[in-house]
Amino acid sequence: MEKILTAVVGAGKMGEIHAKVYSKLGQSRLVGVVDTDESRAKRLAKKYGCHWFTDSSELLGKVDAVTISAPTSAHFELAKQFIEEGVPVLIEKPLAADVGQGAEIVELAKKTGCLVAVGHSERCNPVVQAMKRLEIEPKFIEATRISPYPFRSTEISVVLDIMIHDIDIILSLAASRVVKVDAVGVGVIDENEDICNARIVFENGCIANVTASRLAVKTERKVRVFSRQAYLSVDYLKKTGTVIKADPNVDMIEKIRELKRGGKFALLKTKWQDLLHIEKLDVDDTEPLRLEQEAFLQAVADKSLRPAVSAEEGLAAMECAEAILASVREHKWD
């Protein structure tokens, strides 16, 4: 199979990770990295044995697919440049600086028939993949994503920086239209929100409670999902999860009901945890970014396939994030 010629635009931390993965994938040949900082571009090119450029237009005609990991403010113009030339792009999250730009990218992709994927790599986290395989219908989702101050991406709100990962996953799980958002947030270091909590209500009755902070003393990325079929508790960092399914516990539930009706609770000489049928989530230990890039390249090679997160899904996450930010402004702290 002929290798797909790839390049990375943006040689920062995420750009280097993308370049590293591309250089290792069998279906890819990394041909170049681009950065306006010449020394940074040279360093990365030397490390991964490819060409370096300071102008992204120099890639045109030399590549089959591009990952854009430049600052968010540059996403729109960079994406437009490649999409208009029919070059598939994987754009790091968020899709664009605002919903208007995101919508233009989606429309341009439709008009040209060019593939656009969005780098919500957490969707490719093995625990998220395992969770999706259960095909549950969530009624309540609680997500927490906190970490110490990163000293990067602070030019945007914590909502667009890290909460958007959970927004994307929640939209995927709920599979319904957002009908209401209530949120509160505060900027401690500067004007952009460093802490935010949002409550999202969906048309199908599902409710999500999401918390994000980049001012914590520890790093935590967890989600809990409640449904009629199962209860899930997932740790993204540890790549572990626990599942309590309803069906295997039917007999236990009926036994408790009978004891309750007969006023014989005292006869139940056991702990609640001992009555439950608890399983560990079956998780494959694969790097999320690798899965994301493999799915992207497979969609580049075969137009019948879809990337892990499409441009439309990336736009939906941005629309929800913008609704959260609008609610934060309505509930502004003094």
| pLDDT at res. 1 | 60
Query: Which has more confidence, 282 or 207?
Result: 207
pLDDT, tens digit, 9 for 90 and up, residues 8-53: 999 999 999 999 999 999 999 999 999 999 999 999 999 999 999 9
Q: What is the mean pLDDT of residues 172-196?
A: 93
Q: What is the mean pLDDT of residues 126-131?
A: 81
Query: Which domains, from first to last, does the chain contain?
Result: 4-121+288-307 (3.40.50.720), 124-287+319-330 (3.30.360.10)
Encode 66-78: b = buried (16+ Cβ within 10 Å), e = exposed: bbbbbebebbbeb
The answer, yes or no, to whether residue 135 has pLDDT greater than 90, is no
| pLDDT at res. 136 | 83
The answer, yes or no, to whether residue 267 has pLDDT greater than 60, is no
| pLDDT at res. 67 | 98
Q: What is the mean pLDDT of residues 170-191?
A: 93
Quote the CA–CA distance of 209 and 52 in Å, as a whole number. 44
User: CB burial class (10 A; 0-12, 13-18, 19+) of residue 129?
Assistant: middle
The residue type at 64: D
pLDDT, tens digit, 9 for 90 and up, residues 53-94: 999 999 999 999 999 999 989 999 999 999 999 999 999 999
The answer, yes or no, to whether residue 312 has pLDDT greater than 80, is yes
Structure tokens at 43: 């360093």
Query: Which has more confidence, 328 or 270?
Result: 328
Structure tokens at 175: 């599979």
In eight-state DSSP terms, residue 35 is -
Identify the helix (H) or strand (E) that includes residue 99.
Answer: helix 99-112
| pLDDT at res. 327 | 97
| pLDDT at res. 239 | 84
Structure tokens at 110: 């439709």
Quote the CA–CA distance of 75 and 69 in Å, as a whole number. 8
The answer, yes or no, to whether residue 313 has pLDDT greater than 80, is yes
